[in-house]
Amino acid sequence: MLNDEELLRYSRQILMPRFDIAGQARLKSAQVLVVGAGGLGCPVALYLGAAGVGHLTLVDDDKVEVANLQRQIAFEQFDLGESKAERLADRVRRINPEVSVTALPQRLEGNELQRQVKSVTLVIDCTDNFSTRFALNRACVSARVPLISGAAIRGEGQLAVYDVRDAASPCYHCLYSEQGNEDLSCSEAGVIGPLVGMIGASQAMEAIKVITGIGKSLTGRLLILDAWEMEWREMKLTRDPGCPVCSGL
């Protein structure tokens, strides 16, 4: 049930006929794991917290650096040297005290990664390295938990939803092989600030759609953004019958 404060806080969402109180109640009951509290994770957490997702778990073992402030909009000069996960969690709480937020300033690996993934409604991948992305994908496939993946570098971004509960949906590994993919960081290649906001906000929108069941999610589709030309391209995705991660489902 929603209390009077929540009805007022979320009134602009509840006013939408497709959303209504039922959609807000689904957000309130959801638990979302956000892995990465940087350029993508900041807008994801802020928008989902403001929207009323019941519980957010924010994971990142990094600390705030001055080079982050150009694009990681949850942080300010005062936060330098502090834990990204903890500072982002505090920012979400200040926006919306109705939301429960857990900060995990650590790397999720092995059994702990599996445990966290199994306990949530969906996972949002806001990381910047392939090894973590592949580990998250394996955990989500095993637990049959939807994975919303975003990436941004230079002026290019990507966005997709992988939900193996849908028999036609691929997993992340169907698209990318663990062999031959090398990490390219923003510190090496650069990134324009608003791009990560665009991709992160889109990940938050996809999360709301998956949680509430409203609209058409990006399951089975990959969006590619060229921000400099402001052009979006869409690719249809299918499950790889030979995928070593999801082909046995």
Instruction: Quote the pLDDT of residue 248.
Output: 79
Query: Looking at residues 231-249, what average pLDDT do you find?
Result: 93
DSSP 8-state symbol, 236: E
Name the pLDDT band for 180 (thresholds 50, 70, 90): low
**For position 16, what pLDDT does the model report?**
96
User: pLDDT per residue over 150-163, tens digit each?
Assistant: 999 999 999 999 99
- Mean pLDDT throughout 100-128? 96
Average pLDDT on 218-237 reads: 97
Q: Reduce the DSSP state of residue 44 to 3 states and report it.
A: helix
The pLDDT tens digits of the residues spanning 211-227 come to: 999 999 999 999 999 99
Q: Taking the complete model, does pTM exceed 0.85, yes or no?
A: yes
| Mean pLDDT lowest among 84-93, 125-134, 223-232 | 125-134
**181 — pLDDT class (breaks 50, 70, 90):** low
Q: List all residues 6 or more positions away from 96 whose beta carbon is below 8 Å from its beta carbon.
A: 9, 49, 50, 52
Q: Which residue has the higher pLDDT, 185 or 235?
A: 235
DSSP conformational letter for 83? B
In terms of Cβ atoms closer than 10 Å to its own Cβ (0-12, 13-18, 19+), residue 47 is buried
The H or E element containing residue 22 is helix 20-29
Confidence of residue 184 (pLDDT cuts 50, 70, 90): low
Partners of 224 in the beta sheet?
A: 158, 233
Give CA–CA dist 109/138, Å, rounded.
11
| Residue 70 scores a pLDDT above 80 | yes
| Token code pair at residue 9 | 């806080």
CB 63 within 8 A of CB 103: no
Query: At a CB cut-off of 8 Å and minimum separation 6, what does 8 contact?
Result: none
Q: Which domains does the chain have, with CATH numbers?
A: 4-236 (3.40.50.720)
Mean pLDDT over 100-117 rounds to: 96
| CA atoms of 101 and 222, how far apart (whole Å) | 29
Q: Which of the four pLDDT bands, split at 50, 70 and 90, describes residue 34?
A: very high
Q: What is the pLDDT of residue 38?
A: 97
Query: Residue 188's pLDDT is what?
Result: 72
Please name the helix (run of DSSP H) or strand (run of DSSP E) that holds residue 234, with its range, or none: strand 231-236
Mean pLDDT, residues 191-197 taken together? 96
Cβ(170)–Cβ(232) under 8 Å? no
Q: How much is the pLDDT for 244?
A: 94
In 96-192, alpha helices (H): 110-118, 130-143, 172-175, 186-189
| Better pLDDT: 128 or 147 | 147
- pLDDT(67) > 80: yes
